[in-house]
Amino acid sequence: MSRLSDIPIRVLPSVAAPAAGDGLGGGLGGGVHAILAELVTLLEGLVDLEHGGMIDLHSLPMDPRDRTALQHALGKGEVHATLDAQGLSQFQETSVPGIWWIEHRDPSGELVAELLEVAAVPAILACARDEIATGPGVLRSRIAGLDTRAGQGGHDRHQ
Amino acid sequence: MTDTSDAPLVGETLRRHGISRRGFIKFCTATASAMALPPWMGVAMAEQLRNAPRPSVVYLSFQECTGCLESFTRSFAPTIEQLIFNVISLDYDETLMAAAGDAAESALAKAMHDNFGKYVLVVDGSIPTGADGGYCTIGGRSATDILREAAKGAAAIVCVGTCSSYGGIAFADPNPTTAWPVSAIVEDKPIINVPGCPPIAEVITGTLLQFVTTGKVPDLDEQRRPKVFFGNTIHDRCYRRPFYDQGKFAKSFDDEGARNGWCLLELGCKGPTTYNACATVKWNGGTSFPIESGHGCIGCSEPGFWDKGSLYSTLSSAVWGKAGEAGPRQVLEVGAAAVAVGVVLGVASAGVSRLRQHRSEHDGIQPSGDDQP
Amino acid sequence: MDLLGFARGPAFWGALAVFFLGVVWRIVSFALLRIRRDRNRPRNGMAKSIGEGLLVIGTRSWPHREFIGRTGAGEALGYSYHLGLFTIVLLFTPHIAFLGSLLGFTWPGLPSSIVTIVSVLTATLFLAVLFRRVTNPVMRLLSNFDDYFSWAITMLVILTGLAATAHVGARYETLLGLHILSFDALLVWFPFGKLMHAFYIFPSRAINGILLSRKGATS
Amino acid sequence: MSSPAFVGIATRGSAEFMSPTSQVAEAMRGFSSEIGALSAFRLESCIHCGICADSCHFYIATEDPQYTPIWKVEPFKQAYKRESSAFAPLFRLFGLKREVTAAQLAEWQHLLFDSCNMCGRCSLICPMGIDVAALIEQARHAMFDAGLAPKELYDKAAHQRQTGQPEESAEPYRDQLLAIGREFNVEMPMDRPEADVMLCVPRTDIEHYPSAVAALARVMQHLGVSCTFRSDGLVAENYGYFAGGKSWQRDISLRLIEQAIACKAKTLLVPECGHAYTALRWEAADLYGKPLPFQVRHVTEFLADALRAGDLKLRAAATGPTTFHDPCQLVRKGGVQDAPRAIMKALGVELHELENHGGFAFCCGGGGGVLDIERAAPLRYRTMEIKLREIDDTGARTFLTTCSDCRRTFDDAQAHFGWDKAPESLLELVAASLVNAEGTN
């Protein structure tokens, strides 16, 4: 090949949508079965021991077709949550109760972690006890602030 | 840059920068994911780090190309900003620091003095020892001297890049500057190698983070690389591995196989013998890695990769001389020489045998009709 | 230099040189001994003798009907592991790449999984062959160091190859280095022992076939 | 250095004439001198697969691994590796191959002579294509040179070399032959100065089967062939061949060759004797040093030619179900594959082939001089059972062959086992089935 234009270009069919009947075996990694099997184990653990777990999708060798197959297998549930801390994070409940599809992105929008969490609610969403413990104080000081403002007519200001 | 003699805790710094608990857990989760640690470790790491002091880090550059630092500054998880501002105290780095000249050198002296025995020494570049160290001097002092002095007070040395880890391109034949890796100069300090040309950014930051979190040298392999990043070959974790198992190989860079994303082994991919995290952590924030872009692994995180023959010769192929790739010409050369010697020996051997036979005939045995079937 | 570099570099070229040198030395040493002209009037002319003799290369690959009952199983065992070895050596892609780098051309290979299965089968057959050599009174009587050593060195190549493919026991590059090194050892041993039969088998069949055909004798 | 004749004297009873060490040296030197490219190639090629054992009736009958054909030349393989092979200096330097000892060689006398008929069946089974029988023949030469040929074979060879007869006889064979002619009323052409065909006879026939001798003369007479016996070259057998004395074999063959040349024969006719065919057809010219000025034909080949030319007419022989034993030296090794069966076909013989027949037939058990070695008899009887069972299995009533040594061996078995069959000569059957010019007997 002497010139770039000599290299023939061929458009491959999109890998985003698996062909009908492709099933779970559509991808190359063959890991979709394994992931689903691990989810079953984690779900059973959640029911019996009230202790779920997480699967890090980032570290698994998956090609786009595997990913699509996994998404198809899990489906979409009712709850969707967004966390805005050091970039946006999306929490999507799947159609399988107790399984959450989590994407963490950094401030520039890059995907930095992708997880499947097996839990009633993703742990990161719940408020920590020590933080809740600071709540009354915060509120009290705000009440005090309201009183002051009412008294002084000062402008609203958050901490 | 912070004075760290009684360093503030990481958590405190975080709060000061307005980073929430969730934000930090998320950061640690992403880091754990990048380091291929179990996801729950991210949470544990977050808790531990919040209560750890920010350690001082000194970054020395010797015979290098700044590629490693370029890579370092492109870390996505954690970002270099997150790392520098929240977790560590980068007290000296010629390239990144604002100070220059004597001010920079005195910052180095102060950091080494204040944190003696506690700071982490990061080194990139090989150390040239030829010409009395004259090939690389900073402020009139040779790289060897600077390294030796800086190493004295270091808790550990992290060698970033193939040059400081193994000597790299400067060390390659014929090694004109008599360059050496850090491990050849410093022998009494724990050394963590993070090789690669350059290393993956997340692997550099992850290694630092892990050391900072635990305060301990992680599990290393025989090349002193953290097993958590260098425990598997590229080949083991390669998404093209199924094609290898099916025997589907690209034969050239623009053939059907290459376009179909088949295994690049025959195009010289060194994945099977290269230990690195490229296939899992990937590059540019997890965008892709060389094989995903259609080029085989060149094995840059392995010792002496510059001297192991062509980047495009198959891994199992024979190598000729110190670095050259072998081919039919060498087979012919070696074969012809060996055959020639073999013929000479064979003729001599047959000659001796025939002489012995001839003599025995003269000794009285009748000549015999040899060899009728 | 690491093990792999040594194995596929100096060790390989040294072994290849010994291989060529030894093979030629050994063959020339006997090929240049006297060949007495056969003065007896042949029954079949040269052309026919050569034709029939060359046929023996094929016909002797399987026992004559009269012998199958006693030797069929044993020969089948022998040939099957040879077929296995050929499959592994010639159709495993990394091997093709290796040979290709030396010869300058390549050919299509088999899926690695199939080659792995063949390798395991071949190794099993190889064990059976050793078992037979040790238990069969005739073979035990005939066997000497050459037989056991040639067996062992070939088995070593198979096992290190399997270990390298399966990543068992050590790092891949170490296993690959050991595999290539064991192959180097096999190359060095080749001219000195029975492995030479690879060069002998077809000429031997043909020459004796020609000489028998010359007499019109059964071959 | 001793001449072979001297070695022979040692064998004949006074072994002290030659120390064991020099015996071995002699044998190995002899072997080495005979090693040419071909034999070396054969020795090189063996892969110790042991498959040849399964072709050998001595092994099949006894399952004793020492009877594996290639094992019978083991000391010579050892000697070759040590003395003549490419790496001989290494073998000697590191002592990788021991020197062949006298005791070892003496032990191998049993394997090379008593338990080998040189039938060549092993040469057909070897997957490496090694002609094992050819190697054994060379090993026998070395054994002879070492003075280790069995006494019976040695004595007969020595006698035949000196007198032309393997043994003393009450009357010279010439006279016996003429007497047979008188007894069977057939003219014995003797010592004619010129003839197209020179005849000779197995001395086995003279002593045991005079009718076969008569049959030969009768058939020749019938065909009107110009032929003659020569009193100085009567005996077809060659004990030099059996004993392994190559120069003796040559001397013995020379008698026939010289007589054939003397009477300007175009053909030397080998009678019903297998090893005589091998010795004259496939080895004589080499020993003679140049191509023979006449052709060597076996009597069955000669008769088959006559049949084809229409010179010989035969009437059907009422032999009933019949089987045929293929003499190894003729059929397997000699290439006389078609002639005997062409003749049987012309005779209208109802042929029931043996399980192993043609080129793959088992030896009768007496070939290679084994019949003459007294101590070998028990082993020979064991191995013969294979052959006798095969013959019985055909259900044939008549049993033909065309080699007097084979015939002798079967007769001996008949006596030993009380077997119910006796071999008959194909030549005699032909002689009895001749159709004369008028179309009657």
- Contact criterion met (CB < 8 Å) for C64 and D50: no
- Contact criterion met (CB < 8 Å) for D32 and B368: no
Of B318, B342, B349, the CB nearest to C98: B318
Q: Do chains A and C touch (3 or more CB pairs under 8 A)?
A: no
* Residue C72 confidence (pLDDT): 93
Work out the pLDDT band at D34, boundaries 50, 70, 90.
Answer: confident
Q: CB within 8 A of D203, min separation 6: which ones?
A: D165, D166, D167, D173, D234, D235, D236, D237
Contacts of B266 in chain C (CB under 8 A): 93, 97, 106
Residues B47 and B41: their CA atoms lie apart, in Å, by 10
- Average pLDDT value over all residues in chain B: 83
From residue D424, how far is each of B182, D323, D324 by CA, in Å?
A: 98, 10, 9
Distance from CA of D328 to the nearest CA of B (A): 15
Residue D437 tokens, joined? 């010019």
Work out the pLDDT band at D1, boundaries 50, 70, 90.
Answer: very low
| Residue of chain C whose alpha carbon sits nearest to that of B236 | C167
pLDDT tens, position by position, C115-141? 999 999 999 999 999 999 999 999 999
Residue D79 tokens, joined? 């000697």
- Contact criterion met (CB < 8 Å) for A112 and B30: yes
Of C9, C112, C172, the CB nearest to B233: C172
pLDDT tens, position by position, C176-209? 899 999 999 999 999 999 999 999 999 999 999 9
| Chains in contact with D via at least 3 Cβ–Cβ pairs below 8 Å | B, C
Q: How many CB atoms lie within 10 A of CB B175?
A: 16
| Residue of chain B whose alpha carbon sits nearest to that of A108 | B76
Predicted TM-score (pTM) of the model is 0.78
Structural fold of domain B54-230 = Rossmann fold (3.40.50)
Instruction: From B174, B167, B177, select the one nearest B132 (Cα to Cα).
Output: B177
Residue B170 tokens, joined? 């400067």
Q: Is the pLDDT of residue C29 over 60?
A: yes
Of C138, C209, C217, the CB nearest to D53: C138
Residue B312 tokens, joined? 């495009």
Distance from CA of D214 to the nearest CA of C (A): 29
CB contact, 8 Å: B284 with chain D? no
As a whole number, mean pLDDT of residues D47-71 equals 95
Length of chain B in terms of residues written:
373
* Residue B370 confidence (pLDDT): 41
CATH class of D169-308: alpha beta
As a whole number, mean pLDDT of residues B104-116 equals 87
> Which DSSP state fits A24?
G
Interface pTM (ipTM) of the complex? 0.76
- Contact criterion met (CB < 8 Å) for D38 and B368: no
Residue spans of beta strands (DSSP E) within chain A: 53-56, 80-84, 88-93, 99-105, 111-118
CB contact, 8 Å: A62 with chain B? yes
Contacts of D287 in chain B (CB under 8 A): 369
Report strand pairing: A99-105 vs A88-93: antiparallel
Instruction: From D239, D178, D232, select the one nearest D206 (Cα to Cα).
Output: D178
pLDDT tens, position by position, D347-366? 999 999 999 999 999 999 99
Distance from CA of B38 to the nearest CA of A (A): 7
pLDDT tens, position by position, D254-280? 999 999 999 999 999 999 999 999 999
CATH architecture of D4-149: Orthogonal Bundle (1.10)
Beta-carbon pairs below 8 A across chains B and C: 166
Q: Which residue has the higher pLDDT, D381 or B288?
A: D381
- Contact criterion met (CB < 8 Å) for D29 and B368: no
Element (H, E) at C208: helix C197-215
C159-168 burial: b if 16+ Cβ within 10 Å, else e: bbbbbbbeee
What domains are defined for chain C? 3-215 (1.20.950)
Cis peptide before D172 (omega within 30 of 0): no
Distance from CA of C217 to the nearest CA of D (A): 4
Comparing A15-29, A63-77, A135-149, D171-185, which segment has the lowest mean pLDDT? A15-29
Percent of chain D with pLDDT over 70: 94
Residue C174 tokens, joined? 């170490």
Q: Do chains C and D touch (3 or more CB pairs under 8 A)?
A: yes
**Are the CB atoms for D341 and C200 separated by under 8 Å?**
no
Of A10, A113, A131, the CB nearest to B21: A131
DSSP B161-204: SHHHHH-HHHHSTT-TT-EE-HHHH--SS-EEEE-SSS--HHHH
Across A24-33, B21-30, C186-195, the highest mean pLDDT is recorded for C186-195
Residues B350 and C34: their CA atoms lie apart, in Å, by 9
| Residue of chain C whose alpha carbon sits nearest to that of B323 | C9
Work out the pLDDT band at B78, boundaries 50, 70, 90.
Answer: low
- Contact criterion met (CB < 8 Å) for C16 and B331: yes
Q: End-to-end alpha-carbon separation of chain D, Å? A: 62
- Contact criterion met (CB < 8 Å) for B319 and C97: no
Comparing B90-94, D151-155, D212-216, which segment has the lowest mean pLDDT? B90-94
- Domain extent listing, chain D: 4-149, 169-308, 311-432
pLDDT tens, position by position, B239-268? 888 888 888 889 888 888 888 889 998 898
**Are the CB atoms for D412 and D384 separated by under 8 Å?**
no
Residues C160 and C173: their CA atoms lie apart, in Å, by 11
Contacts of D133 in chain B (CB under 8 A): none
As a whole number, mean pLDDT of residues D226-255 equals 94
Span D311-432: which CATH code? 3.40.50
List every span in chain B annotated with CATH 4.10.480.10: 232-338
Beta-carbon pairs below 8 A across chains B and D: 66
Alpha carbons within 13 A on the beta-carbon side of B305: 25
Work out the pLDDT band at D129, boundaries 50, 70, 90.
Answer: very high
Find residues 8-67 of chain C whose CB sits inside 8 Å of chain B. 8-9, 12-13, 16-36, 38, 40
Q: Is the pLDDT of residue C215 over 90?
A: yes
**Are the CB atoms for B205 and B120 separated by under 8 Å?**
no
- Contact criterion met (CB < 8 Å) for B338 and C8: no
Q: Is the pLDDT of residue B365 over 60?
A: no
Of D3, D141, D286, the CB nearest to B364: D3
CATH architecture of B232-338: Irregular (4.10)
Instruction: From D201, D128, D147, D125, select the one nearest D20 (Cα to Cα).
Output: D147
> Which DSSP state fits D113?
I
Residue D35 tokens, joined? 């090693």
List every span in chain B annotated with CATH 3.40.50.700: 54-230
> Any bridge partners for residue C197, and if so which?
none
Contacts of B357 in chain C (CB under 8 A): 33-34
| Chains in contact with C via at least 3 Cβ–Cβ pairs below 8 Å | B, D
Contacts of D32 in chain B (CB under 8 A): 353, 356-357, 360
- Average pLDDT value over all residues in chain D: 90
**Are the CB atoms for B180 and B127 separated by under 8 Å?**
yes
CB contact, 8 Å: D338 with chain C? no
Instruction: From B16, B14, B91, select the one nearest B49 (Cα to Cα).
Output: B14
Distance from CA of B202 to the nearest CA of C (A): 24
Residues B213 and B47: their CA atoms lie apart, in Å, by 10
| Residue of chain B whose alpha carbon sits nearest to that of D130 | B373
